[in-house]
Amino acid sequence: MFDNLSEKFTKIVQNLTSKGKISEQDIKTTLREVRLALLEADVDFTVAKKFISSIEDKAKKENVFSSLTPGQTIIKIVKDEMTSILGEASTGLNIGEDFPTKIMLIGLQGVGKTTTAAKLALHLRKLKNSVLMVGCDLQRPAAIEQIIQLGKELNIEVYNENNQNSSAILIAKEALKYAKEKRINYVIFDTAGRLAIDEELMNELMQINKEIDSDEVLLTLDAMTGQDAVNSGNEFNKYIPISGIILTKMDGDARGGAALSMKAVTGIPIKFVGTGEKPDEIEIFHPDRVASRILGMGDVETLIEKAQKEFDIDQVKNLENKIKKNQFDLNDMLQQFQSIKKMGSMTDLLGMVPGLGSLKGKINSNDISDDKMKKAESIIYSMTPYERSNPESINGSRRNRIANGSGTNITEVNQVLNQFKQMQKMIKQFSGPNGKRNIMQMFNKK
């Protein structure tokens, strides 16, 4: 997500921070670099222009040169501008006045509407809501089957209308009636996609929207299509007032042009982003946090939220006990790997740690790549339970057996064991009076 852009901005920020004094020429160079970075990211031309002139204005107004830390002042101006362009504050979902809140997902073919319907449903259920999904896509024969299947997998109710002759509008109407009777909190209507915006599609969508009186019309757009996504945002908005945008496939979009131009060009806020194919790979879009990630300053809030979601508190307490008794073993290391993996890819996580964003591109050769972690896991799986709880018992012949069992070699087994020793050492440091408090604070932070 934003890989290329954040690499460039991290460099720009580093250049500014390393300078004590800043000349007018430095600012000019910085602005040129910022402009180039934006254009290379496929940001809309007028948006990029406005971005630069706004920074210039603010730099003048705030008298950057007389500030004690001119570099920091400029960085703050750039970050504020980036946040503003991304939409300022995060915009939550509109809530209906009465049960249920009605959310309609619309968009072109294959952008990820159905997947996103399931992701949203799961997200809302995690917040303790009852949710109903409704398949209003009668264009593609397998579409209804797809949403029923997703509902089964996630244990989310799907309104099942068996009448083959029914229309999308009728299904929507019936489903809404059902949801009202059942006092369901949220109903998510998944609609049919088309290759391009056409009259027929728009008519159908407008009629459904009128029938259900949506609280949210969320336009789903594929981030990888860059400026086409932005244009399609404008086009759809001509027919149906769009209340929010969901940008999918951000995981495959290194450039970020669509995300950066969307709000400024269409005036519509991005409410969520899709970051992968799995049902939990959706994030609420927080402009300030994203700006911070792009500038290589990390995003500790999201990291803590992810940790809170994935690290089970009993597990953490159990770990704390073991650390106290000095019993941290390879089983615990394995469990840590698994929790970390659930939080997302190593590359994305690194982008959230302040100061580590610049490692992102180099991470494959680094010690903590996703591949390395998988290998370490299979090495630990090839150990016997006795070996996992008694790592000191793993002698030469055991190492040989483990290497064979995991399809690796002795060097790799040794690396994992060394990594374990380092972790053990680090934990000993952490388990001092201050260290422990720090760990618990991180996991318990409300």
- Least separation, in Å, of the C-beta of 113 and Mg ion? 5
- Least separation, in Å, of the C-beta of 111 and ligand GTP? 5
User: 249 or 360: whose CB is closer to ligand GTP?
Assistant: 249
| Partner interacting with residue 210 (select from Mg ion, ligand GTP, none; CB below 5-8 Å by kind) | none
d(C-alpha 228, C-alpha 222), whole Å: 9
Q: Which residue has the tokens 């610049």?
A: 358
Span of 16-24, 111-119, 209-217, 255-263 interacting with Mg ion by CB under 5 A: 111-119
The values of phi and psi at residue 333, to 5°, are: -65, -40
d(C-alpha 287, C-alpha 154), whole Å: 29
- Least separation, in Å, of the C-beta of 277 and ligand GTP? 4
**Which two tokens mark 242?**
């769009």
| Partner interacting with residue 109 (select from Mg ion, ligand GTP, none; CB below 5-8 Å by kind) | ligand GTP
- The answer to the question of residue 114 lying near Mg ion (CB under 5 A) is yes
Please compute Rg for the chain using Cα positions. Answer: 25
| Partner interacting with residue 332 (select from Mg ion, ligand GTP, none; CB below 5-8 Å by kind) | none
| Partner interacting with residue 115 (select from ligand GTP, Mg ion, none; CB below 5-8 Å by kind) | ligand GTP
Check if the beta carbon of residue 287 is closer than 8 Å to that of residue 87: yes
The values of phi and psi at residue 204, to 5°, are: -60, -45
* Burial (CB count <10 Å: 0-12, 13-18, 19+), residue 165: exposed
- The answer to the question of residue 115 lying near Mg ion (CB under 5 A) is no
d(C-alpha 402, C-alpha 404), whole Å: 5
Instruction: Compose the 31-50 pattern: x for residues touching Mg ion by CB under 5 A, - for all others.
Output: --------------------
User: 124 or 223: whose CB is closer to ligand GTP?
Assistant: 223
- Least separation, in Å, of the C-beta of 203 and ligand GTP? 17
State the virtual CA torsion across 46, 50, 51, 52 in degrees, nearest 10: 110
User: 224 or 363: whose CB is closer to ligand GTP?
Assistant: 224
Check if the beta carbon of residue 257 is closer than 8 Å to that of residue 41: yes
User: 278 or 342: whose CB is closer to ligand GTP?
Assistant: 278
| Partner interacting with residue 252 (select from ligand GTP, Mg ion, none; CB below 5-8 Å by kind) | ligand GTP
- Least separation, in Å, of the C-beta of 259 and Mg ion? 22
d(C-alpha 92, C-alpha 247), whole Å: 15
| Partner interacting with residue 255 (select from ligand GTP, Mg ion, none; CB below 5-8 Å by kind) | none
420 to 179, 311, 328, 415: CA distances (angstroms):
52, 20, 9, 8
- The answer to the question of residue 116 lying near Mg ion (CB under 5 A) is no
- The answer to the question of residue 113 lying near Mg ion (CB under 5 A) is yes
Three-class SS of residue 67? coil
- Inter-residue long-range contacts of 46-55, CB under 8 Å, 24+ positions, other chains counted: 47/85, 47/260, 47/261, 47/264, 47/265, 50/264, 51/81, 51/82, 51/85, 54/81, 55/31, 55/81
| Partner interacting with residue 81 (select from ligand GTP, Mg ion, none; CB below 5-8 Å by kind) | none
- Least separation, in Å, of the C-beta of 117 and ligand GTP? 8
State the virtual CA torsion across 147, 150, 154, 157 in degrees, nearest 10: 20
User: 68 or 195: whose CB is closer to ligand GTP?
Assistant: 195
Residues that bind ligand GTP (CB under 6 A): 107, 109-115, 137, 140, 143, 193, 248-249, 251-252, 274-277, 281
- Least separation, in Å, of the C-beta of 18 and ligand GTP? 37
| Partner interacting with residue 274 (select from ligand GTP, Mg ion, none; CB below 5-8 Å by kind) | ligand GTP
- Least separation, in Å, of the C-beta of 143 and ligand GTP? 5
Beta bridge mates, 270: 245
Q: What is the binding site for Mg ion (CB under 5 A)?
A: 113-114
